[in-house]
Amino acid sequence: PSSPFIWNYPTLIAHRGAGKHAPENTLSAARLGATHGFKMMEYDVKLSRDGVAILLHDDTIDRTSNAKGPASQYNLDELLHFDFGGWLNPKYTGEPILTLATMAQFTIAQGICSNIEIKPETGLEAETGARVARIAQKLWQHASIPPLLSSFSETALEAAKLAAPELPRALLIENHVPDDYLTRLQRLGCVALNLDTTLTTQALVEQTRQAGYEMCIWTVNDKQRALELLSWGCKGIVTDNIDTMAPHCFD
Ligand code: G3P
Ligand code: MG
């Protein structure tokens, strides 16, 4: 890495706020994850039409709301009319879309760290990377630990690096680890590689850590596998299993 960085994040990270137990990427999910003792959360962020950073996994709101279409088609005030909870369970009906601003407020107040996954819509990679980084920079300016910005999109990470160079970055990789992955981490000024558990081997962890990068692994829903990854030197474990993989389960 270009500058020395001390990794100071909690080990157990709740995926999308609270995995699959509450509507992903909503405040109900964040509250549930917090109730289970998680001190770090991963969540997906993209932009509304009016450039507000919002939490949403997919390109469209079809799966996780009662409306349809790309998020970038709606302004925040329109998105706020839709229900982002009832799709999972009727008891969450009326759950609003969550903005990064509200998530920042909640997590910082609770002493919870953030892994912001920048998840741009296709074609909006650079714009989303730059804007989310700038918004995060402002929202976390007085927080004790900065959010970790991650993305599968190298274009988004490059834009984030230009916009807010001091915010730590991680490259997400799935399907296949390219031969030149260390060069990519270096070029993007990353502090970590956030890797799919199915691609993670002890040799790869050793090689990556020797080169000076930490590793966060997702999505790990088995405690034995988590213990193995930790014994190899992985620093972060992203999980859906907020019950059996809560931090206290590892004490
Ligand atoms: O950031 C780790 C993980 O969330 C990446 O995959 O599809 O769940 O966002 P996905
Ligand atoms: Mg994600």
pLDDT at 1 over 80: no
Q: Predicted confidence band at 3 (pLDDT cuts at 50, 70, 90)?
A: low
Could you tell me if 148 and 140 are in contact, meaning their C-beta atoms sit under 8 angstroms apart?
no
Q: Whose CA is nearest to atom 1 of ligand 1?
A: 117
pLDDT digits over 80-129, tens only? Answer: 999 999 999 999 999 999 999 999 999 999 999 999 999 999 999 999 99
For residue 117, the ligand 1 atom closest to its alpha carbon is: 1
57 catalytic residue (yes or no) = yes
Contacts of 201 (CB under 8 A, 6+ apart): none
pLDDT by residue (tens digit) across 119-165?
999 999 999 999 999 999 999 999 999 999 999 999 999 999 999 99
Instruction: Tell me which of 57, 81, 142, 248 is the catalytic residue.
Output: 57
Place of tokens 């929202």: 139
Give the Cα separation of 31 and 26 in Å (integer): 9
What residues contact residue 4 under an 8 Å CB cut-off, 6+ apart?
A: none
Which residue's entry shows tokens 């490059």? 158
Determine whether the shortest distance from the Cβ of 13 to ligand 1 is under 6 A. no
Q: Give which of 219, 208, 45 is closest to 115, Cα–Cα.
A: 45
Q: Quick: pLDDT tens for 6-63.
A: 999 999 999 999 989 999 999 999 999 999 999 999 999 999 999 999 999 999 999 9
120, 159 Cβ separation under 8 angstroms: no
